[in-house]
Amino acid sequence: MTNTDLKALELLFQRPLEPAFTTRDSGKTVLELPDSFYTDRYRNDTEEVGNRFSKDVDLKIPIQELSNVPSLEFTKKIGLKNQFSLFNNRHRDIASELITLFMGAPNLRQFVSLCVYTKDRVNPVLFQYAYAVAVAHRPDTREVPLTNISQIFPSNFVEPSAFRDARQEASVIGESGARVHVDIPQNYTASDREDEQRLAYFREDIGVNSHHWHWHLVYPTTGPTEVVNKDRRGELFYYMHHQILARYNVERFCNNLKKVQPLNNLRVEVPEGYFPKILSSTNNRTYPARVTNQKLRDVDRHDGRVEISDVERWRDRVLAAIDQGYVEDTSGNRIPLDEVRGIDILGNMIEATPVLSINYNFYGNLHNEGHNIISFAHDPDYRHLEEFGVMGDVTTAMRDPIFYRWHGFIDTVFNKFKTRLNPYNAGELNFDGITVDYIEAKIGKSNTKANTLLTYWQKSSADLAAGLDFGPSADGNIFASFTHLQNAPFTYTFNVTNNGARRTGTCRIFICPKVDERNQALNLEEQRLLAIEMDKFTVDLVPGENTIRRQSTESSVAIPFERSFRPVGADYQPKAADELARFKFCGCGWPQHLLLPKGNAQGMLFDLFVMISDYSQDSVEQPKTPNDACSTAYSFCGLKDKLYPDRRTMGYPFDRRLPNANLTELVGAFGNMAKTDLRIVFNDRVIDKA
């Protein structure tokens, strides 16, 4: 890969609505297109526009002619100004064909040319999705950093008035260093009359919604087999969303709200309204709202049809399969839903992935079509020419309270399967000769109490310039400030005794709420379903006493703030090789600033649970592919081009029923487990990020 190839690929993530021939990289770089690459609108003006945008730039990157010009007729069913949805079957199939086209480019130079040629001829969100999937999966683009979606299409994440202020600031103040930060307001989607607004800081967090998009980019439902068919993909769909739901329900307890009521009946009115107040990047219209007590209806639109009865039929077939203990493939063969592969089969079947579902025509498209029915509730038959609401877009779906109700229902289906499995027995839980003697979590300052952790509000900023199309190009930093939940970094310290030879273990850390929103104690089964995975890592255990220390910032679940909101461009990339590698690939993961639940002012009590399991039963023999530079968030995102690095089922030991009456009995029965009370205190003040 040449430097200009790398640069060209990075530039295609910037200013997605502008033609490919305009300047990028703060006005420093331009792509020099062959005349044949210009669209009909500019074909007669190639010399004029080429000269205009190539003046006063530092770098001109010539783009090679295509050896084979593709037909893009298949993309025309999604108009340039239409919304694009991964939940829509037609859109998904078009994206699959485009990804296949990109993956099939014979070499890197032709891949660059193909992407530049395609960019101005297809829907911009479709292009950015298919392009990002291809960059993430082609072996010759491993070094290309994926720009966070919030910086490509910031209007999907930011209150619209901020853009007016940002463009004004950039137009009036020439030097970016002298520009003031544009402030993004908090709580702009509803007043405190709406109880659900207490969770807006979670649902509307930029990092949360960026994670959801990036996960679906890494694990697309359609495309070439090598892109879609990944190790334990269906199980990861279940587990990642299960953990989101557990975290959301615990946040509800922190805000004196009860758990989410699963949306298991699509024929009753939906009491939760939602008015998103954000703009679609493609047509500059607001995402449609859903009023309070909206009734869901069959969807009958030009680009998709689905009846509520379809979803009900698929639901009943999936539930019947769980009751029977097997699914039937297209040839009528019975595939058992066992404790090893069952959850993975169900995950691929429920999402659903057409190429991986055991029987797509019979078990249907339960998860995605539920999203579609909800997202078109305001205009199911297209009589008002409205596009889908936020539930139809993976970048915005998590903003809506009903996302958690729908996934609450999906999670009950998965849990129905999990409860049919036998509880874990002693042989599956114990690690003979290993005793966890002491555990604590402590903020680094010397005067802090052990097992008392702190959350607070923090004001941070992100650069919107890369996604502000048709704005000032030179010296283009345009920062927006926003307030989000944050936690004080802390350190785990565990004392572990090994009464045998030197060996390796897997340390598994969870926190479980002790009480609900009414301060009523939770039983073990309730805690199991609400257990939040905090970290997982291997430990070497020498004979005798061992002290294990682990920083909260090293979590296998989360990625640092800087990876969610990193500035665009080479000037901001780390210089050290290892840091640069992590910078480029570590875009998938739960945001570090939401690693801890909010807690409350009095200090909300949790059980801090630690388990050391036998690594010889956990380890996975990996293929001899190059090591991925990013492994920090593998619990949710896996490892690039490798197997999921834990043989146990995801969420172990809380993914199945446990043999004891309560958590105290459980840790009392197994020396390789321990728990202690953990208090999370919320300080209701705003601190500026250093």
Determine contact, residues 586/565, Cβ cutoff 8 Å: no
pLDDT digits (tens, 9 = 90+) for 430-441: 999 999 999 999
Q: Kindly give the pairing relationship between strand 673-688 and strand 604-614.
A: antiparallel
Q: How many CB atoms lie within 10 A of CB 67?
A: 12
Residues (pLDDT < 70) of the chain are 1-2, 174-178, 464-477, 563-586, 625-632
Enumerate the active-site residues.
351
**What per-residue confidence (pLDDT) applies to 124?**
96
Residues 644 and 536: their CA atoms lie apart, in Å, by 13
Please report which helix (H) or strand (E) contains residue 682, including its range.
strand 673-688
DSSP string, 122-155: S-HHHHHHHHHHHHHH-GGGTTPPPPPHHHHSGG
pLDDT score for 566: 55
Statement: the pTM of the whole predicted model exceeds 0.75: yes
Neighbours of 419 (CB within 10 A): 13
Helix, strand or coil, per DSSP, at residue 204: coil
pLDDT at position 601? 96
Residue count of the chain:
690
Q: Which two tokens stand for residue 619?
A: 């380890």
pLDDT of residue 457: 96
> pLDDT tens digits for 222-264?
999 989 999 999 999 999 999 999 999 999 999 999 999 999 9
DSSP calls for 551-611? EGGG-SSEE-HHHHSPPSSGGGS-SSHHHHHHHHHTT-SEEGGGSS---BTT-EEEEEEEE
Which candidate, 117, 118, 138, places its Cα nearest to that of 6?
Answer: 138
Residue 343: how many other CB atoms lie within 10 Å: 26
Q: Which of 56, 119, 129, 65 is nearest to 91 (CA)?
A: 129
Domains and CATH numbers, the chain: 4-143 (1.20.1370.10), 195-419 (1.10.1280.10), 426-466+488-621+631-688 (2.60.40.1520)
